[in-house]
Amino acid sequence: MNDESKTTKFTGVTISRTLEEQDDINDILRKLEETGDNPPPKIMFPSRPSKHSYYLGIAKAVSKRSTCLKRKYGCVIVNNDEIIATGYNGNPRGEFNCCDTGKCYRLNVPHNSGNYSDCHSVHAEQNAMLSAARRDMLGAIMYLYGEELHDGKYREVNAEPCPICSRMIKNSGISIVRNASGVINLSEG
């Protein structure tokens, strides 16, 4: 804060203002006192999203970078309220992307069918974990967002890690995985 700022307290909320803004606030308070309209009105702030909604929103934004034609997944790894890494699903660096070629060899194959030999994509969870050090992931939360192509439109799904990603997440030290529905239990399977 510079020398030309001042702090004012309104019903338990502290607000820093410049001296010019402070004079405006003092004028308003003086007028309220003159009219007998005390205490000062409560200042309303827009509601803030929960931390889970906030980080899932970031995972959704990350998913927009996906190069996959079938699924758009985004992942955010958070530890101590700090974003450690992000990742989205797509082909390895330097290779042709499905969104550029217009071809998806798994377009009509069920999710988690077990055979990934025809898909060259690296999953969002894998990309995020590759970008982070294990020491930073210990005890972290992974937020996972996903959309899948249905009838020509991408629709939000309850994103869940595949069996390989689940094993990698367990080994990474990440303690919780969350999607739009809540916590995902990785101990099954």
The catalytic site residues sit at 125
Q: For residues 104 and 149, is the Cβ–Cβ distance under 8 A?
A: no
Amino acid found at 137: M
99 Cα distance to chain centroid: 23
| Cα 42 to Cα 12, 24, 99, distances in angstroms | 9, 16, 51
Q: For residue 7, what are its two tokens?
A: 């702090």
The Cα–Cα gap between 16 and 63 comes to 37
User: Taking Cα atoms as reference points, which of 122, 33, 28, 107 lies closest to residue 75?
Assistant: 122
Peptide bond into 161 cis (omega under 30): no
Looking from the CA of 129 toward its CB, the CA atoms found within 13 Å total 24
The Cα–Cα gap between 183 and 105 comes to 31
Handedness of CA 110, 156, 99, 151 (dihedral sign): positive
